[in-house]
Structure 1
Amino acid sequence: MKNMKNGTKIIIGIIVAVVIIAIPLISSYNGLIKEESNVDLAWSQVESQLQRRNDLIPNLVNSVQGAMDQEEEVFTAIADARASLSGAGSMEEEVEANNEMNSALSRLLVVVESYPELKSNENVTALMDELAGTENRIAVERQRYNETVQGYNNRVKRFPGSIIANMTGFSEKPYFEAVEGAEIAPEVNFDNDEE
């Protein structure tokens, strides 16, 4: 009878030890799932704003294109960037396509500023204002995304999350970063004498 009580105590002790170890591991795993969901949600908000901008661009281009036939290179770059954004299959491809779009739009804005008749056109002005608002929304959503990624990545790297992350396949998420050279203003050359 005494051996049976000792055996029961050992089994209960093992069960208690397993529960004590399992609770933080389960909690950590659930936390990783929640953080990853938050990253996915934040990314979908970025995508939503990118799509909004993508939908506005044809209207803006159509409004300005007639007055700026000689700027075909800018329009081609915008069309190519839109196609890349639409065809992007991964987050990294979307970020790269977005960076192409940012570059093309920057050149378009410089061109529009150089045409006084466009700046006074109500449609162009309204579309430019709408695009500026969309760009601000994109910036806000990118910031939120990066903050969410930071929280998730911290959880993946810190103990005990790092152990659970390695065991269950969670890995760090990429930040939404500006393309190299984004700090340099685009230049548009209107000198047609160059060959």
Structure 2
Amino acid sequence: MRTLGEKNACYDLNRKGVFPFAGLDEEILVLNRMMLVASAKLNVASDSRGIGIVATYEVALPRYADGSRLVIAFTAIDEKGKRKSVGEILCEDGKPNATRSTISAKLTGMKEGPILKIEPKSSVMRLSGMFATMQESFITKAINRFSSRPDVIYAERFEMVVDYWPDRNNMKMLQTSLVIARPEK
């Protein structure tokens, strides 16, 4: 876990501190580090009987063009804390559709997305989607016993990990990494 000082955009990893800029290049890199940051939101809702759970996600990128890359990984967490990967989305180089998008067929509910909306003039991108599954309970176990889906993934919570590189061609070291888990424990 990084300390508060290490989260500072001006923090120098090599010298372990915050120091005056060595030159214009360093100042521009720090400015880009503050400006080219992804933002993400994961919302999770379940019904009052604890049968189903729905996750909606949204990611906004300040730059989505040649050289950019977005990787999103989704994990389901069951009532015992066991984690299972349930999906991944890869978007790169300003393409209008995801390069790769998989949401597990072992989830029992609806799926939508990813939906990419790209502003052509500014290269700003917003990605959204949703997926759902059952929560483990007596009722859902009984339903699955009679269905032909014995390997269903149940979830009490979901986690989303976002990694974003705004420009791998010119700023290889510039990256945003986010981890969001909902509902929080």
Q: Normalised by the size of structure 1, how large is the TM-score?
A: 0.29
Larger Rg: 1
Looking at secondary structure, tell me which structure has more helix per residue. 1
Looking at secondary structure, tell me which structure has more strand per residue. 2
